[in-house]
Amino acid sequence: MAKHSIQPGAVIDGFTIGECVHSGGMATLWTVTRPDIAAPLLMKVPRVSEGEDPAAIVSFEMEQMILPRLSGPHVPACFAAGDFMRQAYVVIEVIPGTTLYSRLGELPLPCEEAAAIAGKIATALADLHRQNVIHHDIKPSSIMFRPTGEAVLIDFGLSHHNQLPDLLQEEFRIPYGTAPYMAPERLLGVRDDPRSDLFSLGVLLYFFTTGVRPFGESETLRGMRRRLWRDPYPPRKLKADYPPWLQEVVLRCLEIDPVWRYPTASQLAFELAHPDQIKLTGRAERLNRDPISTVWRRRFNGNLTQQRGKSDLAAQLASGPIVTIALDVSEESRELNDALRVTAERILATLPAARLACLNVLKLGRVTIDRTLDEAGNNKHVDRLVALRHWASPLKLDENRLTVHVLEAIDPAAAILEFAEANNVDHIVIGARQSSLRRTLLGSVSAKVAAEAACTVTVVRPPRLASLHEQAPATERPAAAKV
């Protein structure tokens, strides 16, 4: 069947073609309008003429399948798609502004600014991974930002969807991607591990804070394969004032074996949002690359070359959630806090990669002037941080799996909900006190959190209250369910 002519003024499926705003190696972008859609639109059209790379067609098929299934602020909205029988295209919203590529002339950026950018990208990746998609082409030209600040991921032609056929994997035996950002396992044909995106983000963060790409500019497959056994120079080798906490994050993202990277993008975003609580290891102080003995051992005995089964993306993400325990550290809450610890132990026992965030809200008065010191002259905020760590000590967690947070707020429930949303929390565990007239009239913190949280909520009752009601110590509300 004859194809439509792509030129200004042509009409395809009700979309009127405007001007060509970009002509890339695999596709062209055109402005389009349609009477029933008020939003500014772009039509992406693949290159299919004689001599074009066949991978361009396959990658466009992947994008056609994936884009309409995505939603949320971190991806462009998709309005329509056309197949190859008539005219292949996808129509997406216009994201105002330019890609992150436009900032390359400013490198290196201040470390705090680059870390904030990486945190937004990690949040976007967490949302994408929850939708069963691994991007596989994270680089500056694939990232934009909405006027409201959220990172937007674009260009899904190289992506992998865990519930769709992987056409690139089926039809080609060489890895497609952008060489400086490609994860080591990609060179071995592995396309179903979301931690590959974290490696690429680590490359971007290294580049944006040092001005140097960690693996150089090599475009040959032979040159890229060196990253299967050779680690990059630590950032502190290039910049003596590089923050140790940031080097810890960057080098963990760039671990050769995905097992040693962050379990999830959510956990990476959490670290970048709370740098003061990052557990520093030997990575943080390194000035040199691994010794040659380690390099040779990786080269000839590397675990990455071993056979591995197909990854279950949803199961992998579920094994590394962020769990928040909301605690009242007052003496009268001891029984409830003991019950919360039992519940936390049960949850963490089945999730060895989970991160635990212990949370307390220091309630402020609406009209009174709040004092930072108690009657004994001790700082309330510091005392509560200490109390949270004391509560968590029997759990015997590795320090890199535990953080403690004291929030100051007038509305404790709103503070807990805001913390959960800002930090991509997967599961909130909160205690429910015994009934009182005030709680009956105003509503309890646990009830509000359970009713409004976007994640799973477990409400724990103290033993005495549970026995009175003849029920288990904890009740769980899955996300999106009503209480």
CATH number of 75's domain: 3.30.200.20
- Contact between 27 and 60 under an 8 Å Cβ cutoff? The reply is yes
- Tokens 């039809």 locate to 171
Determine the pLDDT at residue 173.
Answer: 62
Distance set, CA 12 to CA 5, 33, 41, 72, 88 (Å): 9, 10, 14, 27, 10
Q: Is the pLDDT of residue 439 over 90?
A: no
Least confident of 178-187, 211-220, 343-352, 428-437: 428-437
* Domain match, 345 and 445 both: yes
pLDDT in tens, 388-434: 999 999 999 888 889 999 998 889 999 999 999 999 999 999 988 66
Residue 156 belongs to a domain with what CATH number?
1.10.510.10
Mark which of 52, 74, 93 sits at the end of a domain: 93
Does residue 23 sit in the same domain as residue 71?
yes
What percent of the chain has a predicted confidence (pLDDT) above 90? 60
In whole angstroms, give the CA distance from residue 152 to residue 73.
7
User: What range defines the domain where residue 356 resides?
Assistant: 320-477
Residue 107 and residue 73 share a domain: no
- Work out whether the CA dihedral 304, 170, 263, 342 comes out positive or negative: negative
Per-residue exposure over 262-293, b if at least 16 CB sit within 10 Å of its own CB, e if not: bbbbbbbbbbbbbbebbeeeebbebeeeeeee
* 227 shares a domain with 368: no
Q: What is the pTM of this model?
A: 0.87
Asked which of 39, 65, 93 is the last residue of a domain, the reply is 93
Name which of 24-38, 210-224, 282-296, 445-459 the model is least confident about.
Answer: 210-224
Spatial separation of the C-alpha atoms in residues 95 and 137, rounded to whole Å: 18
pLDDT in tens, 334-385: 888 999 999 999 999 988 889 999 999 988 765 444 555 555 656 778 888 8
With residue 456 as reference, give the H or E element that holds it. Answer: strand 456-460
92 and 63 in contact (C-beta within 8 Å)? no
Picking from 44-53, 86-95, 112-121, 343-352, which range would have the lowest pLDDT averaged per residue?
44-53
Residue 49 forms part of a structural domain: yes
Q: Are residues 460 and 377 in the same domain?
A: yes
Mean pLDDT of the chain: 86
Lowest mean pLDDT among 99-103, 132-136, 369-373, 420-424: 369-373
Q: Which of 282, 232, 281 is nearest to 255 (CA)?
A: 232
Cα within 13 Å of Cα(167), Cβ side: 17
354 and 458 in a single domain? The answer is yes
**Distance (Å, whole) CA 157 – CA 63:** 5
* Confidence class for position 301, pLDDT limits 50, 70, 90: confident
Same domain, 216 and 186: yes
Tell me how far apart the alpha carbons of residues 318 and 314 are, in angstroms, rounded to a whole number: 6
Number of other residues whose CB lies within 10 A of the CB of residue 242: 19
The reported pLDDT for the residue numbered 181 is 94
Quick one: pLDDT at residue 376? 60
In terms of domains, do 112 and 241 share one?
A: yes
